[in-house]
Amino acid sequence: MYDFSQIIGHASIINHLQNAILSGKVSHAYIFHGEEGMGKKTLATAFAKTLQCIEGNINSCNKCKSCIQTDSGNNPDILWITHEKSSIGVDDIRRQINGDIQVKPYQSPYKIYIIDSADKMTENAQNALLKTIEEPPEYAVIILLASNIHHLLPTILSRCVLLNLKPVNKQLIKEFLMDKCKIPDYKAEISANFSGGNVGKAIKYGSSEEFENRKEDVFHILRYIDDMEIHEIISGIKSISENKSSIDEYIDIMTLWFRDVLMLKATSDPNLLLFKEEYQTIRKQANIRSYDQIENIINSMEEAKIKLRANVNFDITIELMLLNIKENYNV
């Protein structure tokens, strides 16, 4: 069940949408923009549900026929656009939106179309949608969910209200994981810090045994990295990151480790550590490294992530990162 009161963060977007409902100035087209897991679907569903609620308030009642239908995925006036291929083609838009939008709502004040992964629309599909956005029926609301607005045509962007989802406060995420997901304090804190303000990621990390295993695999290397030869480190990293799509997570875990090293060196307070159970190893590493060396290590990891996003050779990028780390271990 989704409603505005249950959404973590995104207060400014919720206020914007509720003010639009209150003032009767709901736009015909919105873009909810943010990375996967940021809450685009949750916000879109809560907005659509509130618009269709029989009570007509700025929050859905969660009790009326329309709200119950929305929660079960059966509201006939809230339509999610589907596609079978990797991209959303012009036929998908023509069939599911353009060919349907002149049919008035069955029971609600609005007819709402939600296009998930809207940035996967082909150029022809976007041009077909553009004609509808330019002259929509009074009752139509089209919501585009996009992770990368650079894949959307400027003409589409200019005709939609763009709402950018921002990272959610980590403390709010931690409290949500503990209260709603029943995730223990320590694990919730790590998941919240690791998520980068992305609630979806935090839930995945907090409830995923696979993520916990990845963390332990990385820790095994970090605990003994002082005594390992560079070829052993490279071999260890490659063996745990055969799935290249997960390498960002491994690098993020390593970055948080070295931020703990830096924090302990600066404050000598173990209570400030994220990985408190690794205090002895982290203290040893903090004692034999300078501030510059620790910062060099952290910077080398950020640079590696940037290179990997730019499709620089995977093996070379990882080896250079690890060489940099090893060099900064030798005092």
For 142, residues 6+ apart whose C-beta sits below 8 A from its C-beta are 28, 29, 30, 97, 112, 113, 115, 129, 132, 133, 136
Q: How many CB atoms lie within 10 A of CB 222?
A: 21
Backbone angles phi, psi at 29, to 5 degrees: -150, 130
208-327: same fold as 4-164? no
Helix (H, G, I), strand (E, B) or coil at 144: strand
Strand 161-164 relative to strand 78-80, pairing: unpaired
User: Digits of tens for pLDDT over the chain (331 positions)?
Assistant: 678 888 888 999 999 999 999 999 999 999 999 988 888 999 999 999 999 999 989 999 999 999 999 999 899 999 999 888 888 999 999 999 999 999 999 999 999 999 999 999 999 999 999 989 998 999 999 999 999 899 999 999 999 999 999 988 888 888 888 887 888 887 888 888 878 888 888 888 877 777 777 778 778 878 877 777 777 777 776 666 566 667 777 888 888 889 899 999 999 998 888 888 888 989 988 888 889 999 998 998 888 888 887 888 877 888 788 778 777 765 5
> 208-327 is classed in which CATH architecture?
Up-down Bundle (1.20)
Distance (Å, whole) CA 41 – CA 37: 9
In which element (H, E) is residue 84 found? Answer: none
Q: How many CB atoms lie within 10 A of CB 113?
A: 25
**Is 4-164 assigned to CATH 3.40.50.300?**
yes
**Domain boundaries along the sequence of the chain:** 4-164, 208-327
**CA dihedral defined by 268, 272, 273, 274, rounded to 10 degrees?**
-170
